[in-house]
Structure 1
Amino acid sequence: MTWATWSSVFHWYRVVDWYDTAVHSVTPGTVAVTLQLLLARARLLPSPRDRTLRRSAVPLITTALGATVASLWEMYEWLATDVFGAHLRVGYEDTVADMAAGVAGSLAAGLILAWRSARASPRPSEDGDL
């Protein structure tokens, strides 16, 4: 999130065309993985290392969390632009592209988390530690 904030402060989004898409892809994915691990530690979600989970559960949960993060980010951009008058490069096409990048990045992050969790030592399902 710090990276995305400084990117906006220094107008890096305007310097390189693809930069906005890259940030909107990487940030929701990393935030989603972090949220998933924190929620698992709080025992609100199963641990990614839980062997009783289906293989698709970890990437699915990460993608859902990342889609939520991407949605909230786009709502923030709308609020900043339409309510507070910030000068952001937004519009329908930008919003849809940012959402798609966020979901794709979150899916990729979820697949990496699932792969890393499968390689880690097994833990019993009732163990909430990561």
Structure 2
Amino acid sequence: MIENFLRPPRGAGEWLADVLRVVGAASVLVAFLWWEPTDGGVVAAAVPAMLAPRFAGVRAGFDIAYGAVVLIAAWSNVLDLYRRLPSWDLVVHFAATGLIAAVLFVLLCRAEVIASARARRVRLVMIPLLGLAVSALWEIVEWAGKTFVTDTIFVTYQDTIGDIAFGGLGSIAVAMLVTAVPIERTTALPKEKEKAWPRN
């Protein structure tokens, strides 16, 4: 995974993905200076998440989509879009949770925590499970933020259940997608493991 992270970008897509990461890092300073410190903290939390695809070694197109969605999720909080736009929260949870779960899946495969990573049934089961776990953690962070940091964070029982449900649905959708179209760079996979992993 370290080799993936240190690998120089190749092609316009990989350069654009890295540019999004730079934009994410710069956004932290912008949020701290022009908005509240808590807003800067929200954007700062998105930066490590945007680095994860680098370690995972995913394809450029997926990396770009992932980075854009994570940035949108963070800035939607800063700009208060979750309150202003009805159901926007559900849309973001649907998109972001599935993408994050897919990257976590690849990272766990790289770390050899998950075996038979290329098996379709493994992807179809593990990515939604990871998505539900991410959704639960997301809601715990929101609850902790509202309870211990600021009461401006919108948290209700109905909102929590809806977010988890849509995060799970998004993870199922992404699992089906990455089963049909693998998101890992094939050159980043060890050849002996690539032969050992079943494809169906």
Q: What band does the TM-score fall into relative to the shorter chain?
A: 0.7 to 0.9
Structure with the bigger RCO (C-alpha within 8 Å, sep 6+) is 1
Q: Partner of 1:5 in structure 2? A: 74
Which residue is equivalent to 2:177? 112
Aligned partner of 2:84 in structure 1 is 15
Q: CA RMSD in A?
A: 2.1
Q: Is the 8 A contact 2:135 2:164 kept in 1?
A: yes
Contact 1:32 1:106 in 2 (8 A): yes
Distance, in Å, in 1 between the alignment partners of 2:197 and 2:174 is: 25
| Residues 82-101 of structure 1: pairs in structure 2 closer than 5 A | 82-101=147-166
Unaligned runs of 5+ in 2: 1-69, 187-193
The aligned counterpart of 2:143 is 78
Per the TM alignment, residue 47 of structure 1 is displaced from its structure 2 partner at its CA by 5.4
Instruction: Identify unmatched segments of 5+ residues in structure 1.
Output: none
Residues 67-76 or 13-22, more deviating = 13-22
Q: CA deviation at 1:86?
A: 3.3
Deviation digits for residues 5-33 of structure 1 (CA, Å, limit 9, x no counterpart)? 11100111122102110011111110000
TM value normalised by structure 2: 0.55
Equivalences for residues 12-91 of structure 1 within 5 A: 12-46=81-115, 48-49=117-118, 53=119, 55-91=120-156
* 8 A contact 2:82–2:88 mirrored in 1: yes
CA 1:126/1:96 → structure 2, altered by over 3 Å: closer, same or farther? Answer: closer
- The residue that corresponds to 1:125 in the other structure is 196
Equivalenced residue count is 120
* Structure with greater proportional helix content: 2
Q: Whole-Å Cα distance in 2 between the matches of residues 86 and 73 of structure 1?
A: 17
In the aligned structure 1, how far is the partner of 2:151 from the partner of 2:174? 30
**Once the two structures are aligned, what percentage of the paired residues are identical?**
31
The amino acid across from 2:133 in the alignment is: T
